[in-house]
């Protein structure tokens, strides 16, 4: 006899319980989103201690702002947006401002790379093969060399399997821009993987 799926409260129920003083409900929110938040923090922030502090700051902000959540998106997406903004603020404190992050991306992008040229990469692409191998050491090494936003987009799309719509809500960029940046990130990743691979031969 098939076992029934365990009951899970809806986003609205969890939020209402937290706002009424139920700390266990907030624990459930943390448990449901900690992997996504950890991925965002890990891709954008360097250093174990700083990552831990940023992650704590994120959930403090989530708790403080929960009353303002209007259920216009999934709760996890809203929390991911807070995580992204918190990381951007931390990078700004580290003397790497959001504008510099964008400049770094644009600097590494040729003029021919506009969004009209975006198309999904071929399924046989080396990057796809490595992604299917659960982020191998080779992929991880190449990924760490990408700009923070590119690392994040690769992670959200390929590892967290978020939709373009969800990613756009998190990083506050138009879908065409997200697709274009993701295409560029994959190409940079492929080139760097190929370079690392060739050096090892």
Clarify whether residues 194 and 101 are in a common domain.
yes
Domain-ending residue, one of 42, 66, 96: 96
Mean pLDDT of 167-183: 94
Most confident of 3-17, 105-119, 179-193: 179-193
Q: Distances from the Cα of 98 to the Cαs of 80, 84, 87, 94, in angstroms?
A: 17, 11, 10, 11
Structural domain containing residue 57: 1-96
Phi-psi region of 91 (alpha: psi -120 to 50; beta: other; left: phi over 0): alpha
Question: CATH no. for residue 181?
Answer: 1.10.10.10
What is the Cα–Cα distance from 174 to 82, expressed in whole angstroms? 18
Long-range contacts of 56-61 (CB under 8 A, 24+ apart): 57/86, 58/82, 58/83, 58/86, 59/30, 61/86
Domain-ending residue, one of 96, 126, 160: 96
pTM given for the model: 0.76
Mean pLDDT of 135-151: 80
The SS3 assignment for 113 reads coil
pLDDT at 109 over 50: no
More confident residue, 99 or 27: 27
More confident residue, 132 or 46: 46
Which of 174, 161, 141, 183 has the alpha carbon at shortest distance from 35?
161
Clarify whether residues 36 and 50 are in a common domain.
yes
Could you read off the pLDDT of 73-108 as tens digits, one per residue?
Answer: 999 999 999 999 999 999 888 864 444 454 444 434
Which tokens belong to 105? 């991306």
pLDDT at 61 over 90: yes
Which tokens belong to 157? 């799309």
Domain-ending residue, one of 72, 96, 120: 96
Which tokens belong to 93? 């404190």
Mean pLDDT of 61-80: 95
Proportion of the chain above pLDDT 90, given as a percent = 53
Clarify whether residues 107 and 201 are in a common domain.
yes
pLDDT at 48: 86
Mean pLDDT of 97-120: 43
pLDDT at 114 over 60: no
Q: Do 58 and 37 form a contact (C-beta atoms < 8 A)?
A: yes
Clarify whether residues 60 and 127 are in a common domain.
no
What is the Cα–Cα distance from 26 to 17, expressed in whole angstroms? 8
Q: Distances from the Cα of 132 to the Cαs of 7, 34, 47, 160, in angstroms?
A: 31, 23, 27, 13
Helix extents (H) in the chain:
11-19, 23-44, 48-65, 75-93, 98-107, 126-132, 137-143, 148-154, 164-171, 175-200
């Amino acid at each position: 006899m098939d076992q029934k799926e365990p009951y899970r409260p809806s986003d609205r129920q969890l939020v209402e319980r937290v706002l009424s003083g139920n700390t266990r409900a907030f624990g459930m929110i943390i448990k449901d989103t900690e992997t996504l938040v950890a991925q965002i923090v890990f891709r954008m922030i360097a250093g174990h201690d700083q990552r831990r502090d940023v992650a704590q700051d994120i959930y403090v902000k989530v708790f403080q702002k929960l009353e303002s959540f209007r259920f216009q998106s999934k709760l996890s997406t809203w929390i991911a947006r807070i995580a992204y903004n918190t990381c951007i603020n931390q990078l700004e404190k580290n003397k790497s401002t959001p504008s510099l992050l964008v400049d770094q991306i644009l600097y590494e992008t040729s003029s021919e790379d506009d969004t009209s040229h975006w198309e999904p990469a071929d399924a046989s692409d080396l990057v796809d093969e490595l992604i299917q191998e659960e982020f191998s050491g080779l992929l991880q090494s190449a990924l760490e060399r990408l700009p923070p936003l590119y690392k994040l987009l690769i992670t959200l799309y390929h590892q967290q399997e978020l939709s373009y719509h969800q990613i756009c809500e998190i990083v506050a960029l138009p879908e065409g821009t997200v697709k274009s940046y993701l295409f560029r990130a994959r190409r940079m990743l492929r080139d760097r993987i190929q370079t690392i691979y060739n050096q090892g031969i």
